[in-house]
């Protein structure tokens, strides 16, 4: 079980959280302007990174707030935790 650093509450066990997948996928401002390829890619395409991965979590059974973490998917080590809108931490990936 991961020990997840909520930027509002501190370290809490994984079972208090919900996972939100890859972070920073912005909804296109004008969806109708996209062709099918771009829209399909927005909906379903994922980087699925093997390495430092920016991802959304929600502290569902705590403060209930969304935030982001940077986690290395090769080791599950959490490298950084940051609030929505904070500057992005460096991935350290080559």
Partner 1 sequence: MNDMQRYSLFSLVRHGLRNHSGWREQWRAATPKSHYDAIVIGGGGHGLGAAFYLARDYGLANIAVLEKGWIGGGNTGRNTTIIRSNYLFDESSSLYDHAVKKWDTLSEELNYNVMYSRRGVMMLAHTVHDEQVFRRHIHANRLNGVDNEWLTPEQAKAYCPPLNIDPGVRYPIIGAALQRRGGTARHDAVAWGYARAADAMGVDIIENCEVTGIDRDRSGRVIGVQTSRGPIRAAKVGVSAAGNSSVVMGMAGLRLPLESFPLQALVSEPVKPVLPCVVMSNTIHAYISQSDKGELVIGAGTDVYTSYTQRGGLHIAQHTLEAICEIFPQFRRMRMLRNWGGIVDVTPDRSPIIAKTSVPGLYVNCGWGTGGFKATPGAAHLLAHTMATDAPHALNAPFTIERFRDGHMIDEAAAAAVAH
The yes or no reply on residue 48 touching partner 1 (CB under 8 A) is: yes
Q: Which is nearer to partner 1, 56 or 65 (CB)?
A: 56
**Using the 8-state DSSP alphabet, how is residue 87 labeled?**
P
Binds partner 1 (CB under 8 A): choice among 26, 29, 30, 75: 75
The number of beta carbons lying within 10 Å of the beta carbon of residue 12 is 17
Binds partner 1 (CB under 8 A): choice among 41, 84, 86, 92: 41
CA distance 47 to 14: 23
E strands, 18-93, in order: 18-22, 52-58, 66-72, 78-83
The yes or no reply on residue 11 touching partner 1 (CB under 8 A) is: no
Tokens of 61: 């059974």
The yes or no reply on residue 34 touching partner 1 (CB under 8 A) is: no
Q: How far is the CB of 50 from partner 1 (least distance, A)?
A: 5
């Amino acid at each position: 079980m991961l020990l997840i650093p909520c930027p509002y509450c501190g370290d809490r066990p994984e079972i208090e959280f919900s996972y939100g997948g890859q972070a920073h996928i912005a909804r296109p401002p004008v969806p109708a302007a996209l062709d099918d390829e771009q829209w399909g890619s927005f909906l379903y395409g994922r980087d699925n990174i093997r390495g430092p991965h920016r991802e959304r979590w929600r502290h569902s059974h705590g403060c209930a707030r969304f935030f982001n973490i940077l986690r290395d998917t090769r080791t599950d080590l959490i490298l950084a935790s940051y609030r929505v809108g904070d500057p992005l931490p460096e991935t350290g990936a080559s």
